[in-house]
Amino acid sequence: MADEKYTFEQAKIRLEEIATLARKKDTSLEKSLDLLEEGVRLANICTELVDHTDLGATATVETLDADRAASNEMSTDAQEVDVDA
């Protein structure tokens, strides 16, 4: 499973499955440790996916903010021209 590629949703679903399995009273200690190891790997994958998504979202927000600022400057300049005219 280590070579598999996960989407965020797939990793989240598998983490939920792992949590359910780990809560069972008949799960052996060895199996619980294996589940913990897999869960930690999946949690790291989720963190990387979220961090990567946040970077993209931040860049998009910064671009939008810059566009809005430029738009506001243009409308302010236009208003000043109308007032002076």
What residue ranges do the domains of the chain occupy?
10-84
Q: What is the pLDDT of residues 15-29, one digit of tens each?
A: 999 999 999 999 999
Q: Choose between 59 and 22: higher pLDDT.
A: 22
Asked whether the whole model's pTM tops 0.75, one would answer no
| pLDDT for the residue 81 | 44
What's the 3-state SS for the chain?
CCCCCCCHHHHHHHHHHHHHHHHCCCCCHHHHHHHHHHHHHHHHHHHHHHHHHHHHHHHHHHHHHHHHHHHHHHHHHHHHHHHHC
